[in-house]
Amino acid sequence: MANAWKIARKSSAQLPLVIVIALAVVLVLLGKANSGIFDQARMRITDWMAPALEAARSPVQGVGRWMGSITEIFSVYEHNLRLKEENARLRQWRNVAIVLQNRVDRYQALLHAVPDPKMNAVLARVIGRASRPFLQTMVLDAGKDDNARPGQAVMDARGMIGRIYLTGERTSWVILLTDLNSRIPVSIASSVNRGNAVQAIMTGDNTAMPTLAMVPGTVTLHAGDQVTSSGDGGLLPAGLPIGTVVADGAGWRVALLADPAASQDVEILNFSAPPEEMPPVAQLPAEAAGLKP
């Protein structure tokens, strides 16, 4: 009797193992016969669990947004402090600029100097760029309707970018300083000998740094010399910031302050040189006045 009970107990203990093995064999056979059945089951389970997963994810997302908002609040606070400090410095520089402008006005009055013409600016936005083998341009959303004209200088917050060469009613094309066809007269302020300015021509060659041409042979340039527009010819106002001098073998190039590829908002300077008045005939030489053959 005892032996029979032990045999029955052993058989009942092995029964679950046999069932598990049988189920495994059945699943393997089903998987080989129809491999997509498991994919369908997985999709159905996923679809059935989707609301629960979404409900479980919502609190996590809420906590993440809350933590992000806390971090953003601290970032905005620090940014606000920096802006306040920057505004304070700008107000100081504004006061200095006002004092210097008043001083310049007094000096001009004492010396009977002709003041620089005041310039208006048209704000524009870059809406397109074109870079071809022999032409590097950008397109602005300001044209003739905004008093944009060919030849006007285009500036961004850092320096001069180029000049307008074609205008439509509502758009303008700008030839960049780096373009092969760009040539403008510039003034080079020596970083070693203060007060000595060198006149030259800056020419583009479709590289990032235009070259300096027609530099007098007796002049020695230095890396870091400031390059600005000279105003020669009356096409551009004098003193527009352009870049700094860098050495290039036996020649010199200009590292531009502005980056046309990164410029988004620009200014079109409405500049026109003051007309030159002819002196009275009595003050002209006799030959020019036509009094002598």
The DSSP result for 196-244, as a single string, is: -EEEEEEE--SSSS-EEES--TT----TT-EEEE--GGGSS-TT-EEEE
| pLDDT tens-digit map of 109-131 | 777 666 666 678 889 888 888 77
> How much is the pLDDT for 292?
45
The answer to the question of residue 217 being in a domain is: yes
On whether both 241 and 127 belong to a single domain, the answer is: yes
Contacts of residue 204, defined as CB under 8 A and 6 or more positions apart, other chains included, come to: 136, 176, 177, 178, 179, 180, 181, 182, 183, 210, 211
pLDDT at 29: 67
Residue with tokens 């609190």: 59
Element (H, E) at 108: helix 36-111
Whether residue 52 lies inside any domain: the answer is: no
| pLDDT: which is higher, 85 or 52 | 85
Of 144, 165, 145, the residue nearest 154 (C-alpha)? 165
| Domain of residue 198, residue span | 120-270
Total domain count for the chain?
A: 2
| Angstrom distances, CA of residue 75 to CA of 48, 63, 82 | 41, 18, 11
Q: Which amino acid would we find at residue 115?
A: P
On whether residue 86 sits in a domain, the answer given is no
Q: What is the pLDDT of residues 240-269, one digit of tens each?
A: 899 999 988 878 999 999 988 888 889 999
Q: What is the pTM of this model?
A: 0.56
Residue 219 lies in a domain: yes
Q: Is 88 helix (H, G, I), strand (E, B) or coil?
A: helix
Per-residue pLDDT at 287 = 47
Phi, psi of 162 (to 5 degrees): 175, -160
Backbone angles phi and psi of 212, in degrees to 5 = -105, 125
C-alpha 109/C-alpha 104 separation (Å) is 9
13 belongs to a structural domain: yes
Return mean pLDDT, the chain.
77
In a domain, 72, yes or no: no
In whole angstroms, give the CA distance from residue 26 to residue 91.
Answer: 83
Residue 51: inside a domain: no
Interatomic CA distance for residues 178 and 258, integer angstroms: 11
Considering the domain architecture, whether residues 6 and 133 belong to the same structural domain is answered as no
Question: Would residue 10 count as lying in a domain?
Answer: yes
CATH number for the domain harbouring residue 185:
2.40.10.340
The CA angle 256-261-264, to the nearest 5 degrees, is 105
So what's the pLDDT on residue 243? Answer: 92
